Amino acid sequence: MIGVTFEEGLQEQAATLALQLDLSLVDDPARFQYGLRLTPQGLDIVDLHKKQRPIRVDFHQLNEDRSGGDLIKAVNTRMHKTVLDATGGLGRDAFMLAKAGCQVILMEKNPIIHALLQDGLARAQDLEAVQRMTLIHADSLIAMPDYTPEVIYLDPMYPARKKDALPKLEMQVFHALLGAEQNEQELLQVALNQARKRVVVKRPIHAPVILPTGLQFKGKTTRFDVYLK
């Protein structure tokens, strides 16, 4: 499904990466749908059969992004400064929270996505926000009980809608690597046990709530359900 590919001159590093992640080097693209590609600019994921924009963690680009207002309000970054992002993904929301002044711990259990995050953080050490981000390779259901932050943030994988058109590359890859669903209710229950102040859950705007809540922040396509402690 996914193998390690590389640009010229990086074969030795690619072989080491493949060994670390227990992946094969791409020898025949017909055998693989996606490639974890090592380039002089860092790691990305490419579709080996379609021309689509690669998936890359680029915090310098995110640093120019002025969005994230609803997320900032839902977490209430003026009051809360320690956040555990239990579903790290590509780190976009965690970066926005760090940029707002929070100390953020990201948990990511998938080794390939973790590698993308690790690479992105290493390339952005000059950014003040990145200095406030700590990445942990862990299953959050197992690791969360060791932490008691003010806020726990969740962005669980939502089932793909049944449409003829496939979702964009990022969603295709995430569903391929993580599966279509996570145990959302169990994840939320553990978070509610550990967070000192609140739990914030990101959801598609029309998705059902995981557990009833009276506080929501809604955008055009996304909402944040807030559970106060």
Confirm whether residue 155 is marked as ligand binding: yes
Q: Is 8 exposed, middle or buried (0-12, 13-18, 19+ CB in 10 A)?
A: exposed
Confirm whether residue 92 is marked as ligand binding: yes
Confirm whether residue 28 is marked as ligand binding: no
Residue 118 token pair? 């690790």
- Give the residue among 149, 154, 57 at the shortest CA–CA distance from 103: 149
Compute φ and ψ for 93, nearest 5 degrees: -70, -35
H or E element: which one contains 159?
A: none
What's the CA gap between 155 and 22, in Å, rounded?
A: 27
- Give the residue among 143, 144, 98, 145 at the shortest CA–CA distance from 117: 98
* HSE, side-chain direction, 13 A CA sphere, residue 165: 3
List residues forming the annotated binding site.
Answer: 92-93, 155
List residues forming the annotated binding site for S-adenosyl-L-methionine.
Answer: 92-93, 155
